[in-house]
Amino acid sequence: MVKGASQKMTIARGDRIPSVPIKLVGTGDTIDTTSDAVLGHGLVVFFGVPGAFTPTCDTSHLPGFAANTAKFKALGVDKVVCGTVNDHHVTRAWAERSEAIGKVEFIADGDGILADAMGLSKQMSGMGKRFARFAMIIRDGVVEDLFVQDVAGVTVSGAPAVLMALQAAQVSA
């Protein structure tokens, strides 16, 4: 989200998911839709990766979420969604090759419009605009928790950290 003309703000707890055009890649056809239509209903875990097929995203970030979809569902999560600033063809090829399609839905944010709207875009040398590595818990379109990865690797934004946050929320409820 953008505050003022020049100050870029990162989405935060309590903020609504912005409504921008995206492509949803799932088990069927790729669908032109909006971010709030995909992320705005029920309990959603949304994580963003710098790029499909990139080493850490491919071997650490996505596999953790895909392998734990049953655990997420047991904690009341309606869906797990991965966002990437890649075109929908690359996103689909990655989803299929990783065998995550059907477990995880994928947002192809080819121009980085969603990444910018959420204040979670970053310029990466040789790769252009990408999502920062993050995960969030969204309930009915409102961010409940946000985990932005500040260091290399997958720690605070990985599936284990999000599962722990969901479990802690259940205990305190």
List, by residue number, the catalytic residues.
57
Structure tokens at 12: 């935060």
Cβ-contact 85, 110 below 8 angstroms = yes
Alpha-carbon distance 166 to 16, whole Å? 19
Alpha-carbon distance 52 to 62, whole Å? 9
Alpha-carbon distance 50 to 138, whole Å? 20
Q: How far is CA 73 from CA 67, 95, 123, 141, in A?
A: 12, 20, 34, 18
